[in-house]
Amino acid sequence: MNSDITNGVWPTMITPFTNENEVDYQGLERLIEWYMQRKVNGLFAVCQSSEVFYLSLNERLELAKFIVDKVDGRIPVIAGSNISPSIPDQIEEIKAMAQTGITATVLLANRLASSNDTEQVWKENLSRILDEIPQIKFGLYECPYPYHRLISAKTLQWVAKTNRFLFIKETSCDLDTIKSKLDAVEHSDLKIFNANSATLMKSLELGVSGYSGIMANIHPELYVWLVENWSKDSEKAKELQYFLSVAAVFENQLYPNNAKYYLNLEGLNLADKSRVHFNKNLKPSHRIEIEHLRSLTKEYINRLKNV
């Protein structure tokens, strides 16, 4: 398996389901190749976009292993791991996930302590995990569900100094906070990926390693272009940033069902259902909005091909 965390675009992968509510592995294989054709730099599997809280442990492990096998070393794959309430149970989950062949096992930050716990408690729980699971490399995800726990710059500096962490999906959506974290992890192996579309170009200027967010399930090639070209063609990049910022309001639609509908327009033939919104369907107007978004995306792709 590819063992490097490369700069660039890391989609937070969705999980296709059949109409019978089982994981659709044929659809997942098509999705993996769709990402690959758009030249993403890595894949973040078994995350909130994957509906991780609605997957059994066996499903999570099978999902990660399937993705690793189908990617076959072409790009790195990382995956979320710790869902259980107790740290001992999380340790067992992490050990199992680490055996799937992923490059890094991602820890959901809000599972390491309750919302009322101090950062010291959080650090003690993380230290226990690191002590009981030596050698493997980790990532961090500031997952907003079931509560949003952001990691302070000071604590992130401590994390980086363990030399066990390669990746963090940063979700503050605040440039000052991102800058403080970049300063804190300078000269370490820990790379910061911004989850927020609106602040992306500015954060790239500050030094983040790339983008890892929802909208890489819609038009990852536009994010790839921005990450690769923001410093080469700042005017075109600024125009694209404006479009990506506005397009990202679709995150507040019925996600991930809307992303699956978009992917169907791309020819992937996925059921536009999810476990998180199992009894909900996109409104007819939502479908029209997604169709219009795809048309605008195609126009942007064609425009950038001629740059």
CA distance 6 to 41: 6
- Whether 37 and 30 have beta carbons less than 8 Å apart is answered as no
Q: How many residues does the structure list for the chain?
A: 307
Domain ranges of the chain: 8-218
Looking at domain 8-218, its CATH class is alpha beta
- Whether 261 and 217 have beta carbons less than 8 Å apart is answered as no
DSSP class of residue 152 equals P
CA distance 89 to 39: 36
- Report CA-CA distances (Å) from 64 to 35, 80, 93, 110, 256: 16, 9, 13, 21, 19
CA distance 41 to 45: 13
- Whether 55 and 274 have beta carbons less than 8 Å apart is answered as no
pLDDT, tens digit, 9 for 90 and up, residues 111-153: 999 999 999 999 999 999 999 999 999 999 999 999 999 999 9
- Whether 183 and 153 have beta carbons less than 8 Å apart is answered as yes
DSSP class of residue 17 equals B
- Whether 170 and 181 have beta carbons less than 8 Å apart is answered as yes
Q: Identify which of 58, 66, 57 has the alpha carbon closest to the alpha carbon of residue 16.
A: 66
- Report CA-CA distances (Å) from 205 to 151, 155, 235, 292: 22, 23, 14, 30
The tens place of each residue's pLDDT in the chain, 307 residues long, gives 566 899 999 999 999 999 999 999 999 999 999 999 999 999 999 999 999 999 999 999 999 999 999 999 999 999 999 999 999 999 999 999 999 999 999 999 999 999 999 999 999 999 999 999 999 999 999 999 999 999 999 999 999 999 999 999 999 999 999 999 999 999 999 999 999 999 999 999 999 999 999 999 999 999 999 999 999 999 999 999 999 999 999 999 999 999 999 999 999 999 988 999 988 999 999 999 999 999 999 999 999 987 6
Determine the Cα angle at 277 with ends 291 and 17, to 5°.
80
Is the pTM higher than 0.95? The answer reads: yes
| Cα first-last separation, the chain | 34
